[in-house]
Amino acid sequence: MKKLIPVLIFLLLAGCAQGNQDSLDDLYEAFERNHDSLQAEFSELMGEMEETEDREAKIRIIYEEALPKIEDLRRTIHNYTVTGTEHEQLKEEMLTYTNSLENLVELYGEFNRTFVNYNPLGASDFREEVDERLDEIESQEELVRQRYESIQEDYAQLTSESSS
């Protein structure tokens, strides 16, 4: 009986570790699936925005269609439970990425709103303001890209550690 207890403890711990990895895999697969879907939907929305000259329609697309889709991704991530510090950190990275993506879309909205409410004919600093906003958007795009790549790298590292 004394020899059986350590074996049972080992099997229990191994089963928990596998369950933790399965939860992480499920979260990552859901994140990627939803991310890919979001990218496709954003491509469609950008196409709609390019087709219309109506700035108000562009703003509606951003605030009424794009931002709610990001919130759906955030809710999906929140719905998964992972255990272990590294797994929880990856989940937090996903949420941080989602926040960065939301900030980027809001910058697009603010940029479009500026053109709606701004008269460039009377302002000499109009071009400077446009350039500053575009630089801010470009910087946020780079941050979003880096955070997404970081999630992929961290997940690959976690899965390679668990298979070792």
The predicted-structure confidence for 23-54, as pLDDT tens digits, reads as follows 888 999 999 999 999 888 888 888 887 788 88
Decide which of 139 and 52 is more confident: 139
Q: How far is CA 89 from CA 13, 71, 86, 105, 143, in A?
A: 21, 20, 5, 24, 18
Q: Which two tokens stand for residue 72?
A: 């759906």
pLDDT of 162 reads 62
Could you give the CA distance from residue 154 to residue 27 in angstroms, rounded to a whole number?
13
Could you give the CA distance from residue 69 to residue 131 in angstroms, rounded to a whole number?
28
Please state the pTM of the whole predicted model. 0.78
Q: What is the mean pLDDT of the chain?
A: 81
Burial class (CB in 10 A: 0-12, 13-18, 19+), 46: middle
Decide which of 17 and 122 is more confident: 122
Is residue 79 scored above 60 in pLDDT?
yes
Q: How far is CA 134 from CA 1, 49, 59, 101, 115, in A?
A: 70, 17, 17, 16, 13
